[in-house]
Amino acid sequence: MIPRHLQIAFGLLVLAVFVSAAYVMALHSRESHRATYRADGHTMSVPSNTPAEPVTLCVAYDDEGVLIRRSASAALPTEPGGRARELLRALFAVYLDKPSPHPIGEGSDVNEVFVINNSLAVVDLNAAFARGHRSGVWEEALTVDSIVATLAANMHGLAQVKILIDGQERDTLAGHADLMTVYRPADVNQLVQ
């Protein structure tokens, strides 16, 4: 006969397996229905049947002080602003991953990207991005340059990028990188390897 304490332990173990499975399924369901559009206050999702397509991320590497093109894949909406937003979210996922070649603040996200005449992208980042960003000329410049270069690598004809924080202009990112200017991808592309 099996001792009672082993029966209880086995029962708890089986229960833990079922609870873990339910939790993983809930996380998967939540991620597949994640909100990606927030235009006009309406929330919509990228259709789950949207196939992932190849994209180019220009990832900053702090140790070398360079931007390196990295291939990735992402499910992108057809609307230009939505595509740009998901591109930047893919870039931020690289930076938020541990270990990161270029760490950014926890909770950093892209609120929205507005593309005007396919030549100007207005990128609206959340406050957590600016609040959690490391201060320093080099770190801030690499972040801004990687955002601009990633958009330019995937959106042909893009000539200018403007960065906002929570819908507002801001003097600097974390004390150094000038956010009042409009960045030109042609200037940034010289840094990309």
**pLDDT for 24-79, tens place per residue?**
887 776 655 444 434 333 334 455 567 888 999 999 888 888 888 999 988 889 89
Q: Do 59 and 16 share a domain, yes or no?
A: no
Q: Do 121 and 166 share a domain, yes or no?
A: yes
Q: What is the pLDDT of residue 22?
A: 87
**By the 8 A CB rule, do 125 and 97 touch?**
no
Q: What is the pLDDT of residue 30?
A: 61
Work out how many domains the chain is built from and give that number: 2
Q: Pick from 100, 98, 72, 97: which is nearest to 86 by CA?
A: 72
Residues of the chain with pLDDT under 70: 29-49, 138, 172, 174-178, 189-193
Neighbours of 179 (CB within 10 A): 21
Q: Do 85 and 19 share a domain, yes or no?
A: no
Q: Do 87 and 158 share a domain, yes or no?
A: yes
Q: Pick from 190, 188, 179, 125: which is nearest to 159 by CA?
A: 188
Domain coverage including residue 67? 46-191
Running DSSP on this structure, what letter comes out for residue 90? H
Q: Do 73 and 25 share a domain, yes or no?
A: no
Task: Tell me the angle at which helices 137-154 and 80-96 cross, rounded to the nearest 10 degrees.
Answer: 140
Q: Do 62 and 143 share a domain, yes or no?
A: yes
The answer to whether the predicted template modeling score (pTM) of the entire model surpasses 0.85 is no
Cα-based distances in Å from 31 to 27, 46, 50, 80, 100: 6, 11, 14, 22, 22
Q: Do 26 and 52 share a domain, yes or no?
A: no
Is residue 141 in a domain?
A: yes
Q: What is the pLDDT of residue 189?
A: 63
User: Measured between alpha carbons, how far is 149 from 187 in angstroms, rounded to an integer?
Assistant: 9
